[in-house]
Amino acid sequence: MRVLILSSGEYGSRIVNHLATHGLSSSIVGLEEFEDNLPEFIDDLTEYMPENLPECDLIIAVGLFGDINLLISSIVKETGAKSVIMPIHHPQQIPAGLKQEIKDSLQEATIVFPKPFCSLTSQGDRYIDKFVEKFGKPELEIEADEYIKKVQVKRGAPCGSTDFVAKKLLGVPVEEAEFEGGDKFHNYPCLASMNKDSATGDTILHLAGYKTKEAIKRALGFTYKSAVVDLEVCQGGEDCEHLCREVCPNVLSGDSTIKLRDDEKVDINPASCGVCEICIPECPYGAIEIVEEKISCKKE
């Protein structure tokens, strides 16, 4: 697989450095860096078009803000790329209207906009899925008794946070692992935005943190804190409108954290619950509460 990376700013640099040093270097056929202070709106994109672009299969565009992202259509045509990954790490990076314009201009290639980058999973696309074999939504394998003895990163966040957190988990008591992992994730630190994202109701940095903690919980097979639905209190149906699902940041970013049951009630997946508590005041029946006890999590 031949990969061309378009990069800008500190966020882009971190992604490029981690991908290049953790197994993708032999696949990278080109790297184009753009200034990080370009205007949001650009009248003439041609002056920014890179020259002598190599043929490639996959394009990864990281850290680019605003109209410069519209170059992707011309770059795909020039390089013959079949797949494109354009991760979003800031709410203003690629507004909804711009995203749709990019999609409409790219009929010849598969394109995804993971928000954040570490939420990327298999898409049924040859080249994106090849990338996801190693980079994307974190997946860990953990050996433990009362303490964490060994952590293997099976798939890591493209920024490198998963590898950093994995090393810091060694020797940690298992009941503290998910919380310690969350703390170490912020110590990395993640470069995703702390500005509230109107599309999900949470910050993209928090969304990334939820993915790290989910990987730990799934690897251990349990969690010690989650939002839980009291099914005797939950009514579901039209009167409820399932507002919990409408406000859950993980659901709004593409996860199935809150699922509808056949009886119109809901279940919250403790593995992917970010314990943001946003759903609690939205439930008209008061059926959701935070439970702090050992809860089994399905391993995937």
- Say if CB 66 and CB 40 are below 8 A apart: yes
Q: What is the CATH number of domain 226-291?
A: 3.30.70.20
pLDDT at position 299, please? 57
Quick one: average pLDDT of 274-297? 94
241 pLDDT more than 90:
no
Q: Give the predicted TM-score (pTM) of the model.
A: 0.93
Q: At which residue do the structure tokens 């702390």 appear?
A: 194
196: part of which helix (H) or strand (E)? strand 196-197
300 pLDDT more than 70:
no
pLDDT at position 78, please? 95
Quick one: average pLDDT of 90-116? 94
Which residues have CB under 8 Å from 51's CB, separation 6+?
none
Q: What is the mean pLDDT of the chain?
A: 94
Q: How far apart are CA 271 and CA 264, in angstroms?
A: 21
pLDDT at position 240, please? 86
Q: What is the CATH number of domain 139-220?
A: 3.90.1010
Q: Hey, what are 228's tokens?
A: 């839980």
3-132: CATH topology is Rossmann fold (3.40.50)
Longest dimension (CA), the chain: 64
Quick one: average pLDDT of 178-193? 94
pLDDT at position 239, please? 76
pLDDT at position 153, please? 97
108 pLDDT more than 90:
no
235 pLDDT more than 90:
no
User: What's the burial of 292, exposed, middle or buried (CB within 10 Å: 0-12/13-18/19+)?
Assistant: exposed
Q: How far apart are CA 169 and CA 147, in angstroms?
A: 9
% pLDDT > 90, the chain:
92
Q: How far apart are CA 85 and CA 153, in angstroms?
A: 22
Could you tell me where in the chain the CATH 3.90.1010 domains are found? Answer: 139-220
64 pLDDT more than 90:
yes
